């Protein structure tokens, strides 16, 4: 890919940012469509976030993404945010619309598309247990509710954060309960709900032996187990679930789908989904 005077720039803002797979995924997409675009990373200090956004606008950056820890903090610096972002309360994608620099959230829709892609029927499902109540949990919970999930059970270590999330779901017209983070409570929730979504970082590299407190024998083939962690590709939780005959989904599916939705915001071209998926697979191989 030749970089020249007409190359359009996309960036991801975060801190730390060295772990991101986004440049690999999007630059592959650009190459596959022969788009004269490049996607790079910017590690930004929190106190410089406003200046960084002003800089992106002044430089005519075409779009990009935002990751930890700026998904919520960036909102006041943008010209506007989408309805999805307002509902979730966080932004992960930046784009221009009508001369303004806006943010949207593709994590939620990416999660839903990934889950449906694995054959899970959300409408008609009696409910889901979500471990965690952070940024990813908000996107998952709001999107599941909007997609027709009947009831959500949020289990979180920090009670205040968990309670805030169920209040948000109830304000949006959904049904949700908060349960304290405790081994017996997780076991009891698994007896009631059959979709389990881990949104905590428990089990992520380098601590791959750790995981949420879910014993293998609590899982049955009726459970569908999702872990948002994509590194490692198969967490201890996913391995336990597979050993019990559960259907499972790792975090790579959501990573890909949220990227596909972001790409749809930037370009009218057909998204090169297969090329993006292959690049993610290659990275892990």
**What residues are labeled active site?**
71
What's the min distance (Å) between Cβ of 184 and ligand NAP? 15
* Phi/psi at 224 (5° precision): -115, 120
- The residues that touch ligand NAP, with contacts defined as CB under 6 A, are 68, 107, 132-137, 156-158, 161, 181, 199-202, 204, 228-230, 251, 254-255, 258
Dist. CA 93–CA 188, nearest whole Å: 37
Q: How are beta strands 8-14 and 80-81 bridged, if at all?
A: unpaired
Q: Which is nearer to ligand NAP, 96 or 120 (CB)?
A: 120
Q: Which is nearer to ligand NAP, 55 or 134 (CB)?
A: 134
Cβ(173)–Cβ(108) under 8 Å? no
Q: How are beta strands 175-180 and 93-97 bridged, if at all?
A: unpaired
What's the min distance (Å) between Cβ of 146 and ligand NAP? 17
CA distances from 56 to 4, 13, 149, 161 (A): 19, 10, 38, 32
What's the min distance (Å) between Cβ of 115 and ligand NAP? 12
Cβ contacts of 70 within 8 Å, gap of 6 or more: 13, 14, 15, 44, 46, 49
Q: Which is nearer to ligand NAP, 100 or 183 (CB)?
A: 183
What's the min distance (Å) between Cβ of 114 and ligand NAP? 8
Q: Which is nearer to ligand NAP, 118 or 157 (CB)?
A: 157
What's the min distance (Å) between Cβ of 22 and ligand NAP? 10
Q: Which is nearer to ligand NAP, 68 or 188 (CB)?
A: 68
Dist. CA 27–CA 30, nearest whole Å: 5
Q: Which is nearer to ligand NAP, 241 or 254 (CB)?
A: 254
What's the min distance (Å) between Cβ of 210 and ligand NAP? 8
């Amino acid at each position: 890919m030749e970089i020249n005077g007409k190359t359009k720039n996309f960036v991801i803002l975060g801190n730390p940012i060295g772990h991101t797979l986004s440049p690999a995924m999007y630059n592959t997409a650009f190459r596959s469509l022969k788009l004269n675009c490049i996607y790079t990373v910017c590690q930004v200090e929190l106190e410089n976030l406003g200046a960084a956004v002003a800089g992106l606008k002044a430089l005519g950056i075409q779009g990009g993404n935002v990751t930890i820890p700026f998904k919520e903090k960036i909102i006041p610096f943008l010209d506007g945010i989408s309805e999805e972002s307002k509902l979730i309360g966080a932004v992960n994608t930046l784009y221009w619309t009508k001369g303004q620099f806006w943010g949207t959230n593709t994590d939620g829709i990416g999660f839903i598309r990934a889950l449906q892609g694995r054959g899970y029927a959300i409408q008609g499902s009696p409910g889901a247990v979500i471990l965690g109540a952070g940024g990813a949990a908000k996107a998952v919970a709001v999107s599941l509710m909007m997609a027709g999930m009947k009831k959500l059970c949020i289990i979180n270590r920090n009670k205040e954060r968990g309670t805030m999330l169920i209040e948000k779901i109830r304000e949006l017209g959904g049904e949700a309960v908060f349960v304290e983070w405790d081994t017996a409570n997780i076991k009891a929730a698994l007896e009631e709900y059959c979709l389990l979504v881990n949104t905590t970082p428990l089990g992520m590299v380098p601590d791959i032996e750790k995981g949420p407190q879910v014993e293998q024998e609590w899982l049955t083939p009726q459970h569908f187990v999702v872990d948002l962690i994509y590194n490692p590709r198969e967490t201890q939780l996913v391995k336990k679930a597979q050993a019990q005959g559960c259907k499972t989904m790792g975090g790579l599916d959501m990573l890909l789908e949220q990227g596909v939705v972001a790409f749809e915001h930037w370009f009218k071209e057909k998204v090169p989904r297969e090329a993006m998926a292959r690049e993610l697979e290659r990275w892990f191989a």
